[in-house]
Chain A
Amino acid sequence: MKGESKLNRVTHDPTLMAATLACGIFLASAPAVHADFVVLKDGTRFDAEMINYNGGRKEYALTDEIGAVIRKPAKDVIEISVAPPPGLDRAEGMLKDPANFETLVPVLQKVVEEYRGRKWDIEAAGYLVEVYLKQDKTKDAIAISDEVFAHSQPRWVPAAYSRRYLDLLVKDGQAAAVRKRVDKMLLSNHPPTMAIACLVRGDVLMTEGKFKEALLEGYFRTALIYRDVRSVQAEALAKIAKCLEGLRDPRADKMRQRLIERYPNSRWANEFGG
């Protein structure tokens, strides 16, 4: 569990923690891990002694208990579980103090590289993005995310991270990249990911002043097709109302009303509500 690791219990001094990290402790056991498994598209679970990933070929190498290596294309793997890099759970705490950034960045970059395609690269990249944004390096944040997403299933990426990445692209004016990513997310067959993709697609279209398209391709889909993804519903409703206002459609009021009724405590209701 995060925050309860042995490392955390003994090292409370941020300077000491940074020094420990710099020594590469949480990279010590790098690629070979035990009790790992993947789940393939057809539902079969494959337990492996070791799972390696070849980014160039986009292929996993699964070593079984007798040492035989089985190769599986990345597109056939829908789930993966490997042991986490030791100490990664402490990175989150270290983000609070900018003094740690200098030490943290190369370490996290190393995790991204070593754990490419094996999920932990996503978490490390997420931390890196936070650092980069605090350092006002939007381009770097986008680049590291691109690197990680190229080797991950969209559904593995936490919704908040996907969202932040897409927002960065929008902010950076990379509409084409947003569309590409959104299209990929829409193929994930993972409703939370797809809901966010629709939402962001709506954002892009709304920025371009295409309110109707934003509604149809974005916000309405989020609100209706992905209605079970609760975390984005308030935002979708708020943005539906906003688009309708842009179109001078009186139904905007109805949507705002719905927002207030259904999500009275959300920040969106606070911004748009009564």
Chain B
Amino acid sequence: MKVQGHTYLSNRAGGLVLSLLAAVALSTPLHAQDVEAELAFISGLNDLGFPDYAETVLDQIRAKFPRDAVDRAELKVMINQNKLDQALKLIEARGDKESITTWKMWFELAEGYYAWGQAQNFEEIYDRFVKKYSKGAPDEMRDFVVNYSYRYSQLLVMTGQRIKSVEALRTMLKAEPPKHVDRQISIELAELMMSLAEEAGKEERKKLFDEAETIAKKVQWGGQDVWFGRSVVVMAHMRMIAGDRPGARKLILDYLPILKGIHESIKEEVLARGEEDLLRLTPIAQCRFLLGRLHHEEALALYAKAEEGGEDVEPRKLRKKALGHLIGEVKDGKRSKDAALYHLYNVFVKYPSTTWAVEAGRRSNEIIDRLERMGVAIKIEKVDMTEVVAIQFREARGLFAQNNFKDAAEKYREVLNLFPEYAVSLDALGELAEIYIELRDEEYAQLVVEYIADRFGQNPTYASKAGNILVRIARSYKRLEYLDRSNEVYEFFFDRFPDHPDVPRAIFRRGEEFFRQDVHDAAIVYYARIVENYPKSSVYLDALHRIGLSYFTSRKYDEAIAAFDTYLGALKGQTPRQTQIDAMYRVADAYRNKGEMAEASIRFTQVAKILQSTGRAVYETAPSDKERNDALLEGSLFNRANCYARRKQPPAKIPEGRPSDPEYWEKVFKASAIKYYDEYVASYPKTAVAPAALYQMGVLHAMNEDTAKAEAALSRLEKEYPDSEPAKNADYMLAISFLELGRRAKAIQKFKEMFSGDATYSVHQIRAAGEYLYEAAEYDIALDAFNRVLSMSEDDKAKERAHLWLGKVHHARGDAQKAVDSLEEVFRLSPRSAFTVEVSFILGAAYAQLGQADADPASRGKRFEKAFDAIKVIKKYSKTKSEHARADLELAGIQGLWGKKDQALGSYMRVWLLRSSSDPEERPYKEQAFGKALEILLELERWEDVKEVCEEYLKDYSRGQFVREANRGISQSNVNLAPTQRAPVAPETDEAAPVEPAAEPAAEPIAEPAGSAAAQAAE
């Protein structure tokens, strides 16, 4: 945020402007323009959100420009990155402490403080500056001092610090600025004092009036210029405040000829310079405003008196007199122009840039409304306030910028009540909402959000802007990490502004946020909304692609294949693109992951074919596309070979003349695989997987019992890739290959050889093998691996790690006691183990299992207590939200195993209610908590709760893993919550109901108990 630039120059008429500009031009160093452009470039990059690029420009500046420029550039970057302490040090380290450049840097830092919410430091810098030059400034600094001091005083006025502004101006006068500057500052000082006096007590008011009057008179002795005119107005205004309306009017009317003369000379200046804006300096505007206000207040006083009535009051006469004040008295058949409406309306129309325009317009409208109510015909229209309303929000914005939220909110409300329906009001509403967010006042923030939608959502002029403001509010919530609220505001926006041009993109972005955090079920919901509702938006195809990608990453391969097929179908007739190839590749990979090797190999072959053809160029618009396609081609060729290697079943349709014998086909596929691996190695001899391909060739030859070729492949491996993992770790690789090719027995045999102790494998190699086996759920052999690691480990650190893995494996095997033993060993070896949280999770679960199985109540309780202790340790040491959420879930699980169903339910519900589905870290645990809580709620037949949580779940997890359970839960609760069928009972009434002839015997007038056969039948 930038401080508004009010400079003395911008407020000044006459020759001073030119003389100062000339001075600046003379003092402009060589290449200053380039420097300024580069500095502006850095600022622009920072403001645009590209500080990284700003850094690069900074590097360029360092190489090209002198020290001053480099310092200023570095300062800009630091300020933008909120490194204000560094910025301060940079300035303090400068040698020329009193130079203009150094002071400019100070002011930039001041703005930085202001923008980052440290208004106090901002003021401290300016205060120091004003104080420094309060007794005079060197000649070369004079204009600079004048400009910046003035700028400061203006800012103080803007933020409502008028007393301090008075002090700043007084100090400036003590610095003896040039005469013309002295006159302007004097008069502004008098005006400020007058405005303070208006709100002051009697004594203080008198003191301020006296000083202001002295200053005004001093200015009047200095000549008849713009400041003379303003001095007259100040004096009149003070009389008016003191209640002397006739005195005020007389003063203005006495000086009117002089004021008109001043006005005329300003008009000439306007004509000569073509600067319409100079008109705002005319004293006539304020005089006429004052006259209008005097008449208006006279009229209001008379109307009030007429209303009050009284013996000596003639209401009719009073009202007539009041009307004269409003629209002018009629004399000799002509209406006088000395009236409230005439003066005020003219101020608004002729001097819209003056500070009195707003109030003049408001009062004009008030008078017009009154006249209409009275049935008085007038020929003028109400004024359009749009341009000037913006000014009204200035003070509120100033307060907001200083993070003075409370006062800012009050000010915004005040102005919004006066001007509720302008474009600027809409901006102000957005700012007000942000203030409430900062003040944590959710209720009011929501009120504002709804108000924006209600009032502006259907208005074609404002709807788009209103939508943008809601998005801004949602982002503010997100910035402050109120993710649920952010989500709600976004949903509100999507719901209330479905045709807003930004909605598809905003929905897509929501999807992207979840996608990036790997919360794919939530991401898909957003992408699907685009696909369903915005098929013409520019993100439609991206959304389709993302759906496929989300399913793929979630390992939901069937859904991924279907989604990518839809995407590829939608691309027909469109410009080819790289993502098309990407989608095709992923479909192939999905089949591979599903184990459908036949289909996968066909698909990989298709992708490879396209990418090996010259036609691939149409899919590549950027160099990165080419890189990506190169990678996909390589992947396709490797995977094609890999799929053939893993194919076992004969083709669905056996080619003519070929046997259907599976063994025959397995050999054929393996031969193909060998051929394709060979091709791959030939095409990509230097890739990381080339040795693995060569190795696989060896294994496949071995499996085909072609020993000579197997040995040839392996010796080639050793020769060409001596440092590769397969070459160095042949047995391990062989074992893995066997496992992956479905030869489990052979694989186990190989692993056993590896862990037997006869072979010379490092701890690292054996541990890697163990981890692989653990992931492949081959726990028994994994145990051998980690036991071997343990026996080989010499230091405690290695042992600690081995015990952790042993604990994991034992736990996975269901041997809780052994798991506990291993894991406790971790803490014995290292009480402050780096694996504390990981160990505690397993330990808690293992103790709980032991407790559950223990029949002895005393030891059972102890075991569960240990489980709880483990959770406490997690809570103490875990740093992430996801770990905390998981710990809560574990705690509930332990309570459940202990049979404390109510407590477990409470814990699950706590996770369900207090964790956020909008927070990617917490979302999966919240979902798990739902699944568990639902089981217990169903068991306890708490149907109302079942219904509520299930409905809530479907809202947040419409594509979650428990959708079926939630729907079933709702149906069950509907059945159980349905009102029991009762036999009709006669209404209670004092009068006897007319007796209808019964066609059948009347039913027994007793309600059936719920659940009875009759009630069930009725249902």
A residues touching B (Cβ–Cβ < 8 Å)? 209, 212, 215-216, 220-221, 223-225, 227, 246, 248, 250-251, 253-254, 256-257, 260-261, 264, 272-274
Please tell me if the beta carbons of A209 and B501 are within 8 angstroms of each other in the complex. Answer: no
Please tell me if the beta carbons of A220 and B538 are within 8 angstroms of each other in the complex. Answer: no
Among B43-51, B149-157, B807-815, which stretch is in contact with chain A? B43-51
A247 to B50, CA, bound (A): 14
Can you show 27 pairs from A to B with CB atoms below 8 A apart?
A209-B622, A212-B53, A216-B53, A220-B44, A220-B48, A220-B53, A221-B41, A223-B44, A224-B41, A224-B48, A225-B41, A225-B44, A227-B44, A251-B49, A251-B50, A253-B509, A256-B505, A257-B502, A260-B501, A260-B505, A261-B502, A273-B538, A274-B502, A274-B505, A274-B537, A274-B538, A274-B539
Please tell me if the beta carbons of B502 and A224 are within 8 angstroms of each other in the complex. Answer: no
B57 contacts the other chain (CB 8 A): yes
**Across-interface contacts of B200 in A (CB, < 8 A):** none
**Across-interface contacts of A221 in B (CB, < 8 A):** 41
CB-contact partner of A216 in B37, B57, B502, B537, under 8 A? B57
B624 contacts the other chain (CB 8 A): yes
Binary flags per residue of B45-83, CB closer than 8 Å to A gives 1, else 0:
100111001001100000000000000000000000000
**Across-interface contacts of B44 in A (CB, < 8 A):** 220, 223-225, 227
**Across-interface contacts of A253 in B (CB, < 8 A):** 505, 509, 512
CB-contact partner of B37 in A225, A261, A272, under 8 A? A225
Please tell me if the beta carbons of A246 and B41 are within 8 angstroms of each other in the complex. Answer: no
Binary flags per residue of B525-550, CB closer than 8 Å to A gives 1, else 0:
00000000000011100000000000
A216 to B37, CA, bound (A): 13
B309 contacts the other chain (CB 8 A): no
For the A-B complex with A212-B53, A216-B57, A260-B502 known, give 20 more contacts whose Cβ atoms are closer than 8 Å: A209-B623, A209-B624, A220-B41, A220-B50, A220-B53, A223-B48, A224-B48, A225-B37, A225-B41, A225-B44, A246-B622, A251-B50, A253-B509, A256-B505, A257-B502, A272-B538, A274-B502, A274-B504, A274-B505, A274-B537
Please tell me if the beta carbons of B40 and A224 are within 8 angstroms of each other in the complex. Answer: yes
Within 8 A of A (CB), among B981-997: none
Output the least CB separation between A174 and chain B (Å). Answer: 21
Output the least CB separation between A91 and chain B (Å). Answer: 36
A216 to B58, CA, bound (A): 12
Within 8 A of A (CB), among B560-588: none
Q: Closest residue of chain B to A206, judged by CB?
A: B622
**Across-interface contacts of B53 in A (CB, < 8 A):** 212, 215-216, 220
**Across-interface contacts of B537 in A (CB, < 8 A):** 274
The list of the 3 closest CB pairs from A to B, nearest first, reads A224-B44, A209-B623, A246-B622
**Across-interface contacts of A248 in B (CB, < 8 A):** 624
B468 contacts the other chain (CB 8 A): yes
Q: Closest residue of chain B to A226, judged by CB?
A: B37
A221 to B539, CA, bound (A): 28
Check A220/B45 contact, CB under 8 A, given A246-B622, A274-B505, A274-B537.
yes
A212 to B505, CA, bound (A): 25
Output the least CB separation between A139 and chain B (Å). Answer: 26
**Across-interface contacts of A274 in B (CB, < 8 A):** 501-502, 504-505, 537-539
Which of B40, B45, B57 gathers most chain A CB within 10 Å?
A: B45
Please tell me if the beta carbons of A264 and B50 are within 8 angstroms of each other in the complex. Answer: no
Output the least CB separation between A65 and chain B (Å). Answer: 30
Please tell me if the beta carbons of A246 and B538 are within 8 angstroms of each other in the complex. Answer: no
Output the least CB separation between B920 and chain A (Å). Answer: 16
Binary flags per residue of B496-524, CB closer than 8 Å to A gives 1, else 0:
00000110110001001000000000000
Output the least CB separation between A75 and chain B (Å). Answer: 19
A220 to B53, CA, bound (A): 10
A212 to B55, CA, bound (A): 13
A250 to B502, CA, bound (A): 17
Please tell me if the beta carbons of A246 and B539 are within 8 angstroms of each other in the complex. Answer: no
Which of B41, B509, B622 gathers most chain A CB within 10 Å?
A: B622
Output the least CB separation between B27 and chain A (Å). Answer: 20
**Across-interface contacts of B538 in A (CB, < 8 A):** 272-274
A246 to B620, CA, bound (A): 12
A246 to B623, CA, bound (A): 8
**Across-interface contacts of B50 in A (CB, < 8 A):** 220, 251
Within 8 A of A (CB), among B446-484: 468
Please tell me if the beta carbons of B505 and A246 are within 8 angstroms of each other in the complex. Answer: no
Output the least CB separation between B80 and chain A (Å). Answer: 14
Q: Closest residue of chain A to B47, judged by CB?
A: A224
**Across-interface contacts of A223 in B (CB, < 8 A):** 44, 48
Which of A224, A227, A273 gathers most chain B CB within 10 Å?
A: A224
Please tell me if the beta carbons of A254 and B502 are within 8 angstroms of each other in the complex. Answer: no
Output the least CB separation between A213 and chain B (Å). Answer: 10
Please tell me if the beta carbons of A254 and B49 are within 8 angstroms of each other in the complex. Answer: yes
Output the least CB separation between A84 and chain B (Å). Answer: 29
Output the least CB separation between B45 and chain A (Å). Answer: 6
**Across-interface contacts of A272 in B (CB, < 8 A):** 538
Please tell me if the beta carbons of B501 and A273 are within 8 angstroms of each other in the complex. Answer: yes
Within 8 A of A (CB), among B128-161: none
Output the least CB separation between A178 and chain B (Å). Answer: 19
**Across-interface contacts of B49 in A (CB, < 8 A):** 251, 254
Please tell me if the beta carbons of A216 and B501 are within 8 angstroms of each other in the complex. Answer: no
Q: Closest residue of chain A to B503, judged by CB?
A: A274
Q: Closest residue of chain B to A248, judged by CB?
A: B624
Q: Closest residue of chain A to B44, judged by CB?
A: A224
Output the least CB separation between A269 and chain B (Å). Answer: 9
A103 to B448, CA, bound (A): 70
Please tell me if the beta carbons of B622 and A261 are within 8 angstroms of each other in the complex. Answer: no
**Across-interface contacts of B501 in A (CB, < 8 A):** 260, 264, 273-274
Output the least CB separation between A101 and chain B (Å). Answer: 34
Q: Closest residue of chain A to B504, judged by CB?
A: A274
A248 to B504, CA, bound (A): 21
A216 to B59, CA, bound (A): 12
Output the least CB separation between A155 and chain B (Å). Answer: 16
**Across-interface contacts of A246 in B (CB, < 8 A):** 622-624
Output the least CB separation between A42 and chain B (Å). Answer: 14
Q: Closest residue of chain B to A251, judged by CB?
A: B49
Binary flags per residue of B333-368, CB closer than 8 Å to A gives 1, else 0:
000000000000000000000000000000000000
Within 8 A of A (CB), among B22-41: 37, 40-41
A113 to B199, CA, bound (A): 77
CB-contact partner of B505 in A209, A251, A257, A264, under 8 A? A257
A209 to B623, CA, bound (A): 6
Output the least CB separation between B890 and chain A (Å). Answer: 35
A260 to B505, CA, bound (A): 11
Please tell me if the beta carbons of B624 and A224 are within 8 angstroms of each other in the complex. Answer: no
Output the least CB separation between B509 and chain A (Å). Answer: 6
A187 to B622, CA, bound (A): 31
Q: Closest residue of chain B to A244, judged by CB?
A: B50
**Across-interface contacts of A257 in B (CB, < 8 A):** 502, 505
Which of A227, A248, A261 gathers most chain B CB within 10 Å?
A: A261
Please tell me if the beta carbons of A224 and B504 are within 8 angstroms of each other in the complex. Answer: no
A273 to B41, CA, bound (A): 26
Output the least CB separation between B238 and chain A (Å). Answer: 45
Q: Closest residue of chain B to A246, judged by CB?
A: B622
Please tell me if the beta carbons of B56 and A216 are within 8 angstroms of each other in the complex. Answer: yes
A227 to B509, CA, bound (A): 27
**Across-interface contacts of A273 in B (CB, < 8 A):** 501, 538
**Across-interface contacts of B505 in A (CB, < 8 A):** 253, 256-257, 260, 274
Which of A212, A225, A253, A274 gathers most chain B CB within 10 Å?
A: A274
A28 to B501, CA, bound (A): 57
A58 to B610, CA, bound (A): 58
A43 to B49, CA, bound (A): 40
A7 to B623, CA, bound (A): 54
Output the least CB separation between A138 and chain B (Å). Answer: 22
A264 to B467, CA, bound (A): 15
Output the least CB separation between B523 and chain A (Å). Answer: 14
Q: Closest residue of chain A to B539, judged by CB?
A: A274
CB-contact partner of A225 in B40, B48, B56, B504, under 8 A? B40
CB-contact partner of A224 in B45, B509, B512, B539, under 8 A? B45
Output the least CB separation between A228 and chain B (Å). Answer: 12
